Structure 1
Amino acid sequence: ALQRRAVMLVDVLALQSSGEDPGEELLKCENDLVGDIVFLVDSSGSIGSENFDLIKEFLKSIIKGLDIGPQKIRVGLAQYSRKFHPEFGLKDNEDKESLLNKVNQMYYRKGKTWTGEALDSIRTRYFTELEGSRAGERVPQIAVLITDGGSSDNVEEPAWRLRNHGVLVFCIGVEMKNQTKLETIASPPHHHNILPIKPECRCVFMGERDCEMLWAFKEWKCEGAGAADVVFILSDSGGSGEDDFPFLLVFLDFIINSLEIGQAKVRVGIVTASHVPRVEAHLNTFHGKAELEHFISLLPPRQGGAKIGAALNSTREVMFRERNRGRRNARKVAIVITDTKSQDSVSEAASSLRRAGTTVYAVGVKDAERTELEEMASHPSSRHVFPRADFSSLVAETQTNVCNKIKQFHLFISFSQHTEINSFIFFTLVKMKGDI
């Protein structure tokens, strides 16, 4: 039942102790995984030289466990104190040994802590196509900030700009001096994306064999899922008019019925894609499921064609903007439900929406074209495109995938701390294959 209801991202990852270099025991990411990962290291005066050496060992252990290559996982590294200091970029497709040597050559810089400026720097100097980012190819974009949490400048706006650029941000805390500050930087959920480096991990470098880890996930339920802003985009084909629109509304009602609706939980907005996109309901319109379901029952069809591309742009520019009631730290999901081919181009609009950090599902009924659904949806299409005509299976699969996307997984770890982060990156890359 679990296999049918949810995609298991990871089953069991176990590392056997062998007495060899601990780095060689670390988890190896599977060959088909791709990702662009940038490590940003705080080397300011508050870190201390001893912790800086610990960070270098931590970085080397992670790099050893990644399948690095121009078509696989690309890694970038920078450090900062008062100034930003690039070490190597995503397009520096060197062999693993060369990268490890560059980590060894890093030196402790001391000085003030300008984390906000450094976050802006990796966004503009690392996560760009010119500098080797593959975001345009839907490759997961990941930033790992290693810091004690203190900063001499503002971090909230730079962190938001980085996340809004489509980058998943982890924070690795050194002594965790300022948890609140880290929470303003990291992507949600914070209990997954903020992790400590503990002094105990030194024992791993000394050769202890505590090398067994189990990832376990409870069978998911929509109840208890994390906060999410979900926008439904309904296309009403002018040709068939009112014949199909009630079908779309029934389908919409089934999906909503599986979600935990509320202003602090899952919020729902609705856009209709006719000749001109129309915002039927903003994300803060409904305070409960009954209110939302009543609204749907009264929603009339909108005639005049189906310009889904324009509706996708409207979703990005209007619905998810913070000034228009979008929540900065909530997962963003867009679900296109259409019975026809769009009368305008959807490719660029969908790409921009995904790049803004939104997971896009495309649900086709009746005359919807599969190729166009795949153009709109996040990757892989097997998890985000639903072209089936069978109503019951269409509802079941869409409920499962949407709910799985906004659910907070329960993670149980018994493992040495620095390997936990390595494996967590593996987990993230597997997960993000279905997010971008």
Structure 2
Amino acid sequence: EIKLTLNIFILVKGKHSEPLLIWNCKVDLAFLMDGSWSIGKRRFKIQKDFLAEVAQTINVGVAGPMMGVIQDDPITEISLKSYSSSRDVKAAVDKITQKGGQSNVGKALSYINKLYFSDATGNRGSAPNVVVVLVDGWPTDKVEEASRLARESGINIFFVTIEGPDENEKHNLVEANFVDKAVCRTNGFFSLPVSSWFGLRKAVQPLVKRVCDTDRLVCSKTCLNANDIAFVIDGSSSVGTGNFRTVLQFVANVTREFEISDTDTRVGAVQYTYEQRLEFAFGQYNNKAELLNAIKRINYWSGGTSTGAAITYAAEQLFSKSKPNKRKIMIVITDGRSYDDVRAPALAVHRQGVIAYSIGIAWAAQDELEYIATDPDKEHSYFVDEFDNLYKYVPKIIQNICQEFNSQPRN
């Protein structure tokens, strides 16, 4: 999990001013300004004052939040790596000039997704990506598709809508319910309606508080960095040493596709015959190179085939230690019929929320593969007639894991 670090200092500015809370959390934060002609110079200045106050409130720094600004032309005004202090960001915001044109939020979100959060522009990778969209009224283009692609890249989208459409103006909307179609979740956390430009300053603290609640920035989680994956590997006599190496290569090929760290995807492995052996636990290896080396070093065991007991063992040794915000995925690889029952153990792990894949080779029993696999079977159960064809299923498994992740409800 990404932990929230929160430092609060009370600053008193002058005789009549309110205390200002200073937040310190590690996020890569970009603001999309509304630079359209329709807002006029005065409201553009209010928007800049708002951004300057946000910069002051979040305590910009290389160990904490970094802040950038895009204008919806779209053009980068401030990249994430441009400034490493609140004072410098505030000074840079003051120099931004209004570009004019229309409020093309969809076009700007595509630009941000493709070009803004890159290593070259200062995206750190270890911090959640957040975009806050400021829009006067409503966008002049569609946002749904661009927002979906941004969310699937792990970008948390917030909307601050100022003076949104009233009942008489709703027929002018290019896209009805554009906020719900764009934001990371539709539960109200990611949208902040402001009734008037003159009330925008009051949104600074509520917005920063949400942006800094990193446990709730769920769109930082992608199909490649949000899992605990357990490989349950058949080490029975019928497999043989050469084929066992082929299985390990398959395990490595699947693993290679994921982002590996203690806060991203974690991988564990169990080998089984009549007995079971924990090869390594979740989080034992927290970078990809070490993990791939550990897979390569697994020694072939040889013995019988008790797949049911191995599934139960994986649940006890691995999934009982899963992190609450991780998707639990089990990949069982076997080349024969089990000597024990697989139905009850498989049902038990399904009930624990584990997504189970079964991969059968040669003499594996089709009925058992279907019992092991999560429904629908055809998407979670695969069969190959020989070990050398295992590699063909790597892209299919990754694709299915990602499709399921991306189709989760957004409420």
Aligned with 1:274: secondary structure?
Answer: strand
Residue 62 of structure 1: aligned partner: 54
CA RMSD, Structure 1 to Structure 2 (Å) = 5.1
Change (3 A) 1:113 1:123: same
Q: Is the 8 A contact 2:12 2:20 kept in 1?
A: no
1:265-414 map, 5 Å: 271-274=330-333, 298-299=371-372, 316-321=398-403, 326-327=406-407, 330=410
Change (3 A) 1:161 1:133: same
Aligned with 2:117: secondary structure?
Answer: coil
Residue of structure 2 aligned with 1:166, choices 142, 147, 154: 154
Find the aligned partners of 1:71 and 1:45 in 2 and give their Cα distance.
37
Find the aligned partners of 2:199 and 2:39 in 1 and give their Cα distance.
16
Residue 420 of structure 1: aligned partner: none
Say how many residue pairs are matched.
279
Q: Is the 8 A contact 2:32 2:69 kept in 1?
A: yes
Give the alignment's TM-score, normalised by structure 1.
Answer: 0.50
Deviations along 1:71-123, whole A, 9 cap, x unmatched? Answer: 4322111112xx32321111213543332122222233332221111111122
Residue 130 of structure 1: aligned partner: 120
Q: Of the two, which has the highest radius of gyration?
A: 2
Amino acid at match of 1:180: N
Residue 272 of structure 2: aligned partner: 240
Deviations along 1:147-175, whole A, 9 cap, x unmatched? Answer: 13522322111111211122111111111
Change (3 A) 1:86 1:192: same
Change (3 A) 1:123 1:130: same
Query: Are residues 1:26 and 2:16 paired?
Result: no
Residue of structure 1 aligned with 2:184, choices 187, 212, 223: 187
Deviations along 1:217-267, whole A, 9 cap, x unmatched? Answer: xxxxxxxxxxx99977442133424343223357899899xx9xxxxxx9x
Find the aligned partners of 2:53 and 2:382 in 1 and give their Cα distance.
57
Give the alignment's TM-score, normalised by structure 2.
Answer: 0.53
Deviations along 1:15-63, whole A, 9 cap, x unmatched? Answer: 576646859x432223xx3221111111213434343222111111100
Greater RCO, 1 or 2 (C-alpha within 8 Å, sep 6+): 1
Query: Are residues 1:140 and 2:95 paired?
Result: no
Q: Is the 8 A contact 2:110 2:150 kept in 1?
A: yes
Q: Is the 8 A contact 1:116 1:158 kept in 2?
A: yes
Amino acid at match of 1:42: D
Residue 240 of structure 2: aligned partner: none
Amino acid at match of 1:183: D
Residue 350 of structure 1: aligned partner: none
Residue of structure 1 aligned with 2:83, choices 84, 93, 116: 93
Q: Is the 8 A contact 2:32 2:131 kept in 1?
A: yes
Find the aligned partners of 2:20 and 2:137 in 1 and give their Cα distance.
27
Aligned with 1:109: secondary structure?
Answer: coil
Query: Are residues 1:36 and 2:68 paired?
Result: no
Amino acid at match of 1:85: I
Residue 199 of structure 1: aligned partner: 196
Q: Structure 2: which 5+ runs fail to align?
A: 166-172, 211-221, 236-270, 274-305, 336-346, 358-367, 374-380
Give the drift of 1:317: 2.0
Change (3 A) 1:140 1:12: closer
Give the drift of 1:316: 4.3
Find the aligned partners of 1:121 and 1:162 in 2 and give their Cα distance.
10
Change (3 A) 1:153 1:302: closer
Change (3 A) 1:326 1:70: closer
Give the drift of 1:124: 2.5
Q: Is the 8 A contact 1:56 1:104 kept in 2?
A: yes
Aligned with 1:53: secondary structure?
Answer: helix
Aligned with 2:61: secondary structure?
Answer: coil
Change (3 A) 1:97 1:46: same
Residue 157 of structure 1: aligned partner: 145
Give the drift of 1:320: 2.7
Change (3 A) 1:84 1:248: same
Change (3 A) 1:154 1:328: farther
Q: Is the 8 A contact 1:272 1:302 kept in 2?
A: no
Residue 261 of structure 2: aligned partner: none
Residue 208 of structure 1: aligned partner: none
Amino acid at match of 2:311: F
Find the aligned partners of 1:326 and 1:79 in 2 and give their Cα distance.
29
Percent sequence identity over aligned pairs:
18
Deviations along 1:363-397, whole A, 9 cap, x unmatched? Answer: xxxxxxxxxxxxxxxxxxxxxxxxxxxxxxxxxxx
Aligned with 2:147: secondary structure?
Answer: helix
Q: Is the 8 A contact 2:7 2:22 kept in 1?
A: no
Find the aligned partners of 1:253 and 1:188 in 2 and give their Cα distance.
27
Q: Is the 8 A contact 1:45 1:112 kept in 2?
A: yes
Q: Is the 8 A contact 1:169 1:193 kept in 2?
A: yes
Change (3 A) 1:316 1:180: farther
Find the aligned partners of 1:93 and 1:200 in 2 and give their Cα distance.
27
Amino acid at match of 1:299: I
Aligned with 1:125: secondary structure?
Answer: helix
1:192-231 map, 5 Å: 192-199=189-196, 202=199
Residue 362 of structure 2: aligned partner: none
